[in-house]
Amino acid sequence: MSAYTRDEMMTIAAARMLWDGCVCFVGIGLPSAACNLARLTHAPEIVLIYESGTIGTRPEVLPLSIGDGELAETAACVVPLPEVFSHYLQAGRVDVGFLGAAQIDRHGNLNSTVIGPYDKPSTRLPGAGGAPEIASHARQTYVVMKATPRSFVERLAFRTSAGYLGGHGERAASGARGDGPRAVITDFGVLAPAPESEELTLTALYADASVGEARAAVGWPLAVVSQIERIAPPTAIELDTLRALHARTASAHQRPVELPL
């Protein structure tokens, strides 16, 4: 098997967490790659929902935006956006929601709004989009983020989406219906909430990653479980399928579109 990148390992680790038949609310970027990789390998009956209203979509190439025509053309059905959020997500019909963000704290709360003060930000980020309600209503969420001390922080500049709030059951008491971030998939391995404190704890490492690397990448004193799981490297099928998907996608996104003149 050829060498692989950490990006590929993250995508494959995320894909393995999805099961056949699960209903998955997909975000753009790595989550979209992971969900489609799962669909093309071990989970052919996975149901992919993009917030643009495409349900049960089976894209041949990954969309650049969450509303590319490819998603509509390969969907089981296309519904209005308010319906996706109210009748599907809020109604509890989503098993897994994928989230990313600019910052995460030790209880899995996320910031995708601003760095610095809200009224005078040093960096204005895109904002909430679907995230707050995905975080709240999906039966569970998986967070996918590369870890640096600037992104895995002691204190968020702004809380856009709730994880376990302050931990120790605060999320459940808040009325959130879903179980929250059950896994944070990073470029060194996976963090998961500890049973009581709900503090994100290192539970699994990629084959070539170390606890020291994980600790250096996280901006709070990282707790580590006593028996760390080792995540198997990509199989040839996973890697070939993912690379073929990315190659098809890159070529499709660069294909010139004839101007509608």
Residues annotated as catalytic (active site), given as ranges:
51
Q: Applying CB under 8 A, which of residues 2, 196, 212, 257 lies at the interface with another protein?
A: 257
Q: Quick one: which segment of 97-105, 175-183, 200-208, 220-228 binds another protein (CB under 8 A)?
A: 175-183
Collapsed DSSP state (helix, strand, coil) of residue 192 = strand
Q: Are 12 and 239 in contact (CB under 8 A)?
A: yes
Task: Name the nearest CA neighbour of 7 among 181, 186, 149.
Answer: 186
Please select the residue that binds another protein; options are 44, 87, 124, 251, rule is CB under 8 A: 124
Stretch that binds another protein, among 14-22, 63-71, 187-195, 197-205 (CB under 8 A): 63-71
Beta bridge partners of 77: 55
Task: Considering only residues 6 through 45, tell me which ones interact with another protein, judged by CB under 8 A.
Answer: 28-29
Task: Pick from 171, 191, 193, 239 the residue near another protein by CB under 8 A.
Answer: 171
Give least dist CB 131 to another protein, A: 7
Q: What is the DSSP letter of 226?
A: E
- State which of residues 6, 7, 74, 121 lies at the interface with another protein (CB under 8 A): 121
Which has the closest alpha carbon to 94: 40, 41, 136, 33? Answer: 136
3-class SS shares of the chain: helix, strand, coil, % to 5: 30, 20, 50
Does 246 help bind another protein (rule: CB under 8 A)?
Answer: no
Tokens 């699960």, located at residue: 22
